Structure 1
Amino acid sequence: MGGIQKLPKNFVSSEFNNDISKLERPFLQDSLISAPREIVGPGKRGNLSSKKETKGKICIMKNNDDHYLGYLKKGRPYSIPTLKINTENGQSKFSFDATETNRDTIHTSFASYLQQYDTLIFRSLKDSTLSPKEKFIGIDVDKDNRVICYLASTNGDLILNNADSLNLAEFVRNIARQQAGSETHIPIVRGHVDWRNDYFRIFGKMAFNFLALVKGYNFAIHANFDAIRNWIVNGGENKYVKFDNESGDYFSTVNIELPPYAHTILLAGDNEFLVATIRLYEGASVEILLGESTNSGIITDGLICDWQQRKEYRLNDYLKNISQGSTPYNPLPD
């Protein structure tokens, strides 16, 4: 549901969880959610440890008129060791992040990885703003200790063969020996947010899971919800979810303080329709039409996740604490 609480086992199939995770991964890394998540957290699986801080995808970054390969972590851009090649004049330059203190290790590791060509995992990056003469070869080790070699160019068509890899490894070793042809820098991120219509299915899943939590399994499998369940699982035309920044949600119309960067789900239903509103990181509000009412009467419920304090509240409990003059959370210092 986007927070801490989970549905009981057997509410959702393992097959669906595996399939939807393939969509959730780019949703967290590339969508409008990625920027606040990389800046304020949380890390992997909601972990608040600095060791689990979310590391953004490797991308092409810019500092003045120069380009680098790197990522965003906790709001700070980092560059990865990169070999920049100018195919027009044959000049090459090796660069790495200014925060790296042991340049000898950086050079040696980069060259060693290039010599292990058969174990490298290659990924292409393209950016039309790059000059056609610019080619970038960057190396990073991912969370699973796999060595990833990123090949960046205007069209994403750069290919590195075994012989080239060995030659470039020797070139980097020569740079290290001569103490020339290498530079450090502090990179600047050029922002990019990707949005796919399929990402709305993630919001649909969160809202429908909360409906199942509130009303139970038998309620959630009612035929009235067949259409949205099928869309959440299989995709297709989106008739259910939209951004709703004009009318907002309940908390935008009443003077109730929420925890910083809270995740909220609000559920409302009458004798006609069931709708939900989701807001993440105090950002854009998303409205979900869950389906026609099942004649179950008025429904009003919600979930407020204060993920920074690892606490979660149902709407009525939260409002009760507010009415009694107590703040149900401990705000972080400024």
Structure 2
Amino acid sequence: MNKCIYLKTDENLTFDGEEHVFPAALGGIQKLPKGYVSDYVNGKLFSPLELNVMRESILSISRIFIGPGKRGKLNEKSQTKSKIGIYKDSNNEKNISLGYIKKGQPHQIPQLVVRYEEKPNCNLINVNTSFMEFLQELKNNKHLKKINLYDKSLGNNEFIIGYLEHKVYMLTKDKNIEFDYIEEIISKVVNEFNQGNYTSDIENIQPSLNLKMEFNIENFYRICAKIALNYLALKRGQEYVLNKRFDKLRNFILGEKVKINCNIIENDFDMRIEFPSESHKIFINENNGYMYAMINFYGTTNIYIELCKISQQDYSVRKIGNELDRFIGYICDWKSRVEYDLLEYIDMYNNHHERLNRKI
């Protein structure tokens, strides 16, 4: 049946795509059936929301250092890298450059470091082309997107221009320095170079990268809540999550100003079994009149979310065959590209340890 579990309608909507339970960017594999989430919600609402959270949240730090890469890929070419940040030489903090982190390793981008007094003192960092070619490339690409970065430790006549993936990064002391002023100094540098007063070299430093991250915690919680509602839809079906008890949660996920009890918690999940390394997990349970989800990312970050209130009748133990349905869960082992229902994983885990015990 085509009916969006977020908009609660199928009117004027298409259902060609499929929504992941865990986002693909985190390595999620399992998708909801077609007809559960409309293309408008999946593409227009959720795609930019996920992009923001994957790039600017506590999840982005884990993706940069651990993985996975774009759309959950594990190959080196697709690995996620951090936003461009400021390197400071661990041996001399006055030596500053621009770089990023990819798979836990620091990388410096191609850049020109200028300290201009009576004559320019310039260094090229990680530039394979000649000094003039590098400057010419910058001058010929004024239309490229310019991203401004600031560091108070820079001098008044000191700046850095970096270039990566069709973007120009400008690091200056403060916001008062205009690009026209930088272009003027570049022209003087070029003149000095043409007169033979300057030769370029490659600067090598021992980097420590100073990355500052600001993120919208509500967007992060919306993604967590979306994972929970998606999993409920997968486990208990479309009609179940269309119930009005989930309307408040649904509206929160869609971005309405609704108060939902969400928290990052320190308590770890004590399941007395070993889960796959750095996997993602979701557990849903009912207690004290509420249904709640516990989500764990990378085996470290724990999130608590209240999903809805439940009546005493709802709280009664439900049975599906012989399975107790009140406590359910799902594991995303993105490193091995496999996902498990909680009970399936527990059975597999116990059987594995029984076989090991027999061998001993």
TM over 0.5: yes
Identity of aligned residues (%): 29
1:62–1:49 distance in 2 versus 1, CA, 3 Å: same
Q: Which residue of 2 aligns with 1:302?
A: 329
Q: Which residue of 2 aligns with 1:117?
A: 141
Q: State the secondary structure of the residue aligned to 2:179.
A: coil
AA at the equivalent of 1:31: S
2:299 aligned to 258, 282, 294, which one?
Answer: 282
Q: State the secondary structure of the residue aligned to 1:6.
A: coil
1:172–1:288 distance in 2 versus 1, CA, 3 Å: farther
Contact 2:296 2:302 in 1 (8 A): yes
- Could you list the runs of 5+ residues in structure 1 that have no partner in the other structure? 98-102, 142-146, 328-334
AA at the equivalent of 1:151: M
1:7 aligned to 25, 32, 35, which one?
Answer: 32
Larger Rg: 2
Contact 1:273 1:293 in 2 (8 A): yes
1:254 aligned to 265, 271, 274, which one?
Answer: 271
Q: Which residue of 2 aligns with 1:223?
A: 244
Q: Which residue of 2 aligns with 1:93?
A: 122
Q: Which residue of 1 aligns with 2:88?
A: 62
Q: State the secondary structure of the residue aligned to 1:318.
A: helix
Q: Which residue of 2 aligns with 1:197?
A: 217
CA positional deviation for 1:158: 4.3
CA positional deviation for 1:90: 5.9
Q: Which residue of 1 aligns with 2:183?
A: 164
CA positional deviation for 1:167: 2.9
AA at the equivalent of 2:204: T
Q: State the secondary structure of the residue aligned to 2:137.
A: helix
Q: Tell me the distance in 1 between the aligned counterparts of 2:215 and 2:57.
A: 5
2:51 aligned to 14, 25, 29, which one?
Answer: 25
**RMSD of aligned Cα (Å):** 3.1
2:345 aligned to 291, 301, 318, which one?
Answer: 318
Higher mean alpha-carbon deviation, 315-324 vs 290-299, is at 290-299
Contact 1:111 1:169 in 2 (8 A): no
1:185 aligned to 191, 205, 214, which one?
Answer: 205
> TM-score, structure 2 length as denominator?
0.76
CA positional deviation for 1:160: 2.4
Q: State the secondary structure of the residue aligned to 2:35.
A: coil
Q: Tell me the distance in 1 between the aligned counterparts of 2:31 and 2:130.
A: 43
Indicate whether 1:73 and 2:98 are aligned. no
> TM-score, structure 1 length as denominator?
0.82
1:282–1:172 distance in 2 versus 1, CA, 3 Å: farther
1:257–1:111 distance in 2 versus 1, CA, 3 Å: same
CA positional deviation for 1:116: 1.7
Contact 2:114 2:158 in 1 (8 A): yes
Contact 2:192 2:198 in 1 (8 A): no
Higher mean alpha-carbon deviation, 203-212 vs 157-166, is at 157-166
AA at the equivalent of 1:323: N
1:241 aligned to 247, 251, 262, which one?
Answer: 262
Contact 1:129 1:154 in 2 (8 A): yes
Contact 1:265 1:303 in 2 (8 A): yes
- Could you list the runs of 5+ residues in structure 2 that have no partner in the other structure? 1-21, 319-324, 355-360
Q: State the secondary structure of the residue aligned to 1:257.
A: coil
CA positional deviation for 1:37: 1.3
Q: Which residue of 2 aligns with 1:50?
A: 76
AA at the equivalent of 2:162: G
Higher mean alpha-carbon deviation, 53-62 vs 126-135, is at 126-135
Deviations 1:290-322 (A, max 9, x none): 112372735221111111111111101000111
Q: Tell me the distance in 2 between the aligned counterparts of 1:34 and 1:233.
A: 22
Q: Which residue of 1 aligns with 2:163?
A: 139
